[in-house]
């Protein structure tokens, strides 16, 4: 936490942008440093995520990419996932986002496929709300992960 609080504004914003690619979100979260605890930072990141404008959300979603299956996934699962992602992106104009925090690795592919299938029937505005919530959850998990990394490795990971 001390490293994040002491980082330059540009360094803090770069780390935050690696978690959620909304410039306004990253600037807002970085501007409120220092944070007393990781939980306080994560709460501020959540709050800033609720305040994303339509343009901010579009910016963040445009930087997301579809999750690839584990290399050991069966070919049929890979094909199903590619088709599901293509259908979702065609319907909503951005990559499918879902937080898999707490989902066991062996269940992730099924969770993604089920999520895409269930959300394909959503109206665009309903899906936008769900995608924004999933993006907040992703940003929170990514930020917690990045803060746990050594300072020198922070900008080179996933």
pLDDT digits (tens, 9 = 90+) for 65-106: 987 887 888 899 889 999 999 999 999 999 999 999 999 988
Question: Considering the entire predicted model, what is its pTM?
Answer: 0.88
Structure tokens at 103: 């989902």
Mean pLDDT for the stretch of residues 131-152: 89
What end-to-end distance do the CA atoms of the chain give, in Å?
Answer: 20
- With bands split at pLDDT 50, 70 and 90, how would you rate the model's confidence at 154? very low
Of residues 153 and 91, the one with the higher pLDDT is: 91
Averaged pLDDT for residues 107-133: 95
Query: Of 136, 125, 155, 144, which Cα lies nearest the Cα of 56?
Result: 136
How far is the C-alpha of 7 from the C-alpha of 112, rounded, in Å? 35
Per-residue confidence band for 151, with pLDDT thresholds at 50, 70 and 90 = low
Candidates 75, 143, 69; CA nearest to 105 is 69
Distance CA 15, CA 128 (A): 25
List pLDDT tens digits, range 35-57: 999 999 999 999 999 999 999 99
């Amino acid at each position: 936490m001390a490293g994040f609080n002491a980082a330059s504004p540009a360094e803090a914003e770069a780390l935050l942008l690696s978690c959620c690619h909304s410039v306004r979100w990253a600037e807002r979260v970085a501007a409120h440093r220092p944070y007393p605890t990781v939980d306080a930072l994560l709460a501020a990141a959540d709050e800033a995520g609720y305040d994303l404008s339509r343009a901010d959300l579009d910016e963040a979603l445009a930087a997301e990419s579809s999750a690839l299956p584990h290399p050991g996934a069966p070919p049929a699962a890979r094909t199903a996932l590619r088709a599901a992602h293509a259908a979702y992106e065609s319907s909503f104009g951005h990559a499918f986002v879902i937080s898999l925090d707490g989902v066991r690795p062996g269940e992730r592919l099924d969770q993604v496929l089920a999520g895409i299938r269930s959300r394909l029937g959503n109206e665009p505005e309903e899906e936008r709300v769900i995608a924004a919530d999933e993006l907040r959850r992703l940003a929170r998990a990514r930020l917690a992960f990045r803060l746990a990394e050594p300072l020198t490795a922070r900008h080179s990971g996933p």
